[in-house]
Structure 1
């Protein structure tokens, strides 16, 4: 029953086919006017040899019509073929005319032109480059290298810059295993593993596939080229840019901290320099005082000896003759008073000089900043780009300055005690000089009036008292000058340390300035990182965002007004035994008329 029905339908089909052709012909003859084309689509088909060389290329043009009629299209075709009906087509140079009897009309145009891409495919078996057609069926380690570049000989390269390629190579798992392909997507499809690469618009790539095979045999490579029309949205980079902003802010804080450190070191250097100057003046004052101590004690020794001599001579004076001898001592007493007055003046000068030197030292010491740096601050310096030896010198200088300040604070009472003692000595010396001067004057006036016994005894007692008091004064002066000598020697070490600190601080100030220059340069170079990074991201995204690309015709620019889309379908030759192709041809030859007719439906 089913067989009879099948033959009935075949008979009806044979009956209606001539009628349908006649109706189509009549419809074609009755068509009048130009067709209204809604849009045109081009699909370019190309076959490549296994090595990538172009073998043939043709275009299938598809029209969507709002109104049927005569279509005019353009293309430098070697030949054209109607794929919609049996209607004729006319070629006049680059112009093609045809009558469309349906809303969708297709025709094929065979071309002779280059693809926008240049493909080079190399095959290696066990590390040696081979012609794959000559090693079909062999086993070993297979490497396939696919190079994609812009074809400089192509007439239209807008496709290279705006189209994305997908390159797929199926590998039968019966023959291949241990498949590797970097940057590719590997998916299973039945017995095949589909290796797919994506090449972005405007990019040249070298792609590789590695696999082991027991029998080298594979289908051709499939390549499709589509417009990269999707809009690429940028990733959310806020958190990333915030991290870089935090880094930039941290660098800015470091730069400011280094600037403050540099200012502090410069201040320290200036303070140490002033301290060194003040200390030098103080040291000079001490040295001058120490050197004058010998003169003071020498002069005082002479005066003391003179008092002792006077005391001895006065002690031997008796009677009237003794009083007469006193008149000869008047001149000696006057000379002694002059010596004491000179000594008092020298002590006054020393006291003033010492006071100025001590004040300069105090001013310099006050300029040393307080010890505010911590171990963390020093560690930050060691962690910076500053030379470690320079940091060591900074730390040593800083500590030396603080030690000098500590020693000064401990010794300041001793320094302060020197000046009042000098003033006391000066006052005492002036008083003694005045007393001797007064004594000489009174002696000169009263020698003739003095009572021989009672007056002489009183005078001798006064001279003894004066001699003893001055001897005590002289001993105190000697002790004082010895202390000044020890102070001068001790302070010399302090002054040397201050000098070394001042010298080191100057070098550190220069190093800190260089460090700040470096951190400033680093900050200047990094402060725009977030904006620069966002700009680079946008630039990279825009490189692949071709959503604003307007399709152009592959075959003729005169078709651009109606062209809606252009696609490329490219395939390489199969790498398979020839008998497979022969078997397929034999099967086609074995088909009868009815089999071919059934295949149509």
Structure 2
């Protein structure tokens, strides 16, 4: 009994100063709280800790609030906490519903608040486990072997305001021990080696809902839990140098613009070509009409000339056989017919002069129309480039066909230009020669009349016969030349019919192609309008894509209460799932407790 009393007394003596000191300390703190001034918060950081089940269901969530104070003192905070705990000292924290009142005596103050059960994370997580393609519960997979797959789904929690979902980036990591897992496959994961572990990391950008899959072969399934961190994507994303890219697009739009301009010039050129070919067709029509008239007149002219040639031959024979009085009668009859022959020849010469004038006008019109056809300046490479564009290929083919036809017409005309040019001088020469023959006939008639008055008829007849013979011979040569000329005119007339038909077809085709070129130009104009904005649109799209991940202008808000927004400097989330491992019996603590003596236990009461 005495021994017990001594022990009690000794304990009382030993602990009395401690009790006095502790009581006195509590008294000072209480006095300090009553007299403390209001503290001044520099900033507040919230770290949200969440524990998830292996399936992803939320188990518990609590927040560690860290205050940096410019001035210690009474501070206030807000949160839907079921329980609060001072992590800085032993002072009590006053809680009035959602209002927290704290006496912070140091520059840094920490406290923990356990959130109510109805509070959810901004993201919902679902984990599914498969063994050899069969879905199993997470706990059933521990220690198993085979082909395993873990599916992870991250989605937005609709009941939570979207601020964190829209501005925070998730980093999901899982270590796999290579002693237990082989042939690890995880698409979209960043894989890092850390000793025996392969660290798999997945990233979920702001405003994204994603699904991931991890496949591996295991001989003994055990894993630590997923570690998920969520931080604001506040890094400023520097935009890439898009000058080269947009420069290429601008080159494209410039090329389209050049094509549009070229097609516009082509349309204008085709319009001029069509106009020129229409004028050419009109001039060619006049020319053809003139050639047809000339051909018909040539046939009549040859017939008339043949009659004159026969008549001169007959006159020569009649005069040669004539003598005396009978000869004078024949000469008198001849003298009466010669003026009529001369008049006919003069009419033919007048007709030639009139036709030559008409031919000159038709030839000038044809030449002017031909001059409107542009020279061949388009290269094969230009046609090839146009063919490879987005323009209507049928229109392009018709354009090329008409262009080549126009060039062929011009080439044919240039080749026949010498023959065309020789017609008018020949007409003038023929007219002049015809007038000379008519003058010779009139001179002959005057000579006959004078000869008939001479006494020596036979001598005069002899001279007349000689003159008629020379005249008949010259006219015979003239007639042969006239026949050859009219034959050439006939051939030229028939040949020109084909050329005129080609000109008509080219003119009709050119008109159609002009319409097609107009439509083509409208199309290239629309294409140019559509592509001209590509560089700006590309830059705008790039800027838009970058802005999705650049959250550098995000202003932090409190996760637990909007009343804390002004003083909240940062909020981060630390989320983990339960590990899937076989439980081991912990004998260490039991052995420690057995070795722990009375005084150790007593000291622990005051730690």
- Band of TM-score, shorter chain: 0.7 to 0.9
Counterparts in 2 of 1:599 and 1:142: CA distance versus 1, 3 Å: farther
Counterpart residue number, 2:177 = 172
Does the 8 Å CA contact 1:140/1:213 hold for their aligned counterparts? yes
Residue 434 of structure 1 is matched in structure 2 by 439
Q: Which residue of 2 aligns with 1:405?
A: 410
2:366 is aligned, of 344, 361, 375, to 361
8 Å contact from structure 1 (residues 186, 193) kept in 2: yes
Distance 1:58 1:21, change over 3 A: farther
Tell me what 1:3 maps to: none
Q: 1:283–1:488: 8 Å Cα contact kept in structure 2?
A: yes
**Aligned residue number for residue 215 of structure 2:** 210
Deviation of 1:426 after TM superposition, in Å, equals: 1.0
The whole-number CA distance in structure 1 between the counterparts of 2:348 and 2:527 is 67
Q: Which residue of 2 aligns with 1:27?
A: 29
Structure 2 residue corresponding to 1:487, chosen from 489, 492, 506: 492
**Matches of 1:278 and 1:121, distance apart in 2:** 89
- How far does residue 481 in structure 1 lie from its aligned partner after superposition? 0.6
Q: Distance in 1 between matches of 2:488 and 2:404?
A: 28
Equivalent in the alignment of 1:114:
120
Which residue is 1:149 aligned to?
A: 155
Matches within 5 A, 1:79-228: 79-112=83-116, 113-154=119-160, 156-228=161-233
- Structure 2 vs 1, CA of residues 372 and 30 (structure 1 numbering), >3 Å: closer, same or farther? closer
TM-score (normalizing by structure 2): 0.87
1:9 aligned residue: none
User: How far does residue 395 in structure 1 lie from its aligned partner after superposition?
Assistant: 4.7
Deviation at 1:512, TM superposition (A): 4.1
Deviation of the 1:110 alpha carbon: 1.9
Secondary structure of the residue aligned to 2:353 is helix
Task: Provide the residue aligned with 2:74 in structure 1.
Answer: 70
Structure 1 residues 280-304: Cα deviation after superposition (integer angstroms, max 9, x where no partner): 3333322221122211112222222
2:301 alignment partner, SS class = helix
2:53 maps to what in 1?
49
Q: Whole-Å Cα distance in 1 between the matches of residues 66 and 326 of structure 2? A: 161
Q: Residue by residue, what CA displacement relative to the aligned partner does 1:354-385 show, whole Å, maximum 9, x if unpaired?
A: 22232223223323333333333333234334
- C-alpha distance 219-25 of structure 1, shift in aligned 2 (>3 A): farther
Using the alignment, how far apart are the partners of 2:191 and 2:336 within structure 1?
129
User: Structure 1 466/599 Cα, relative in aligned 2: closer, same or farther at 3 Å?
Assistant: farther
- Asked if structure 1 preserves the Cα contact closer than 8 Å seen for 2:125 and 2:154, the reply is yes
Check the 8 A contact 1:385/1:515 in 2, yes or no. no
Higher mean C-alpha displacement, 516-525 vs 70-79: 516-525
Q: Is the 8 A contact 1:176 1:212 kept in 2?
A: yes
Asked if 2 retains the 8 angstrom alpha-carbon contact of 1:164 and 1:225, the reply is: yes
Shifted more, 446-455 versus 305-314: the winner is 446-455
1:307 aligns with 2:312: yes
Cα distance per residue 1:256-297 (max 9 Å; x no partner): 344444444444444444444433333332222112221111
**Displacement after TM superposition at 1:25 (Å):** 4.8
1:526 and 2:528 are equivalent in the alignment: no
Q: Check the 8 A contact 1:28/1:101 in 2, yes or no.
A: no
Q: Secondary structure at the match of 1:348?
A: helix
* Structure 1: gaps spanning 5 or more residues: 1-11
Residue 348 of structure 2 aligns with which residue?
343
- For residues 279-336 of structure 1, what are the alpha-carbon distances to aligned partners after superposition, in whole Å with 9 as ceiling and x for unaligned? 3333332222112221111222222233233333333332234324433344322322
After TM superposition, the score normalised by the length of structure 1 is 0.87
Residue in structure 1 matched with residue 244 of structure 2 by the alignment: 239
Residues 1:103 and 1:377: Cα distance change in structure 2 (over 3 Å): closer
Closer, same or farther: CA 323–362 of 1 in aligned 2, 3 Å: same
Which sections of structure 2, spanning at least 5 residues, go unmatched?
A: 1-13
Quick one: structure 1 residues 176 and 557, their matched pair in 2 at CA, closer, same or farther if it must change by over 3 Å?
same
Q: Give the number of equivalent residue pairs.
A: 585
Task: Tell me, yes or no, if the aligned pair for 1:76 and 1:556 is still in contact at 8 Å.
Answer: yes
Check the 8 A contact 2:260/2:521 in 1, yes or no. yes
Q: 1: CA distance between counterparts of 2:571 and 2:362? A: 97
Change (3 A) 1:210 1:505: farther
Task: Describe the superposition over 1:138-168 as per-residue Cα deviations: whole angstroms up to 9, x where unpaired.
Answer: 22222222222221111x3211111111111
Q: 1:74 to 1:533 in 2, by over 3 A?
A: same
Question: Partners in 2 of 1:20 and 1:305 — Cα distance?
Answer: 165
Partner Cα distance (1:185, 1:311) in 2: 123
2:257 corresponds in structure 1 to 252
1:571 aligns with 2:573: no
Query: Which string of whole-angstrom CA distances, capped at 9 and with x for unpartnered residues, describes residues 535-588 of structure 1?
Result: 2222222222222222111111111121121111111122223x24xx35x654
Q: CA deviation at 1:508?
A: 4.3
Shift in CA distance, 73/240, structure 1 to aligned 2, threshold 3 Å: same
What do the CA deviations read for 1:473-499 (whole angstroms, capped 9, x no partner)?
222211111111122233333334444
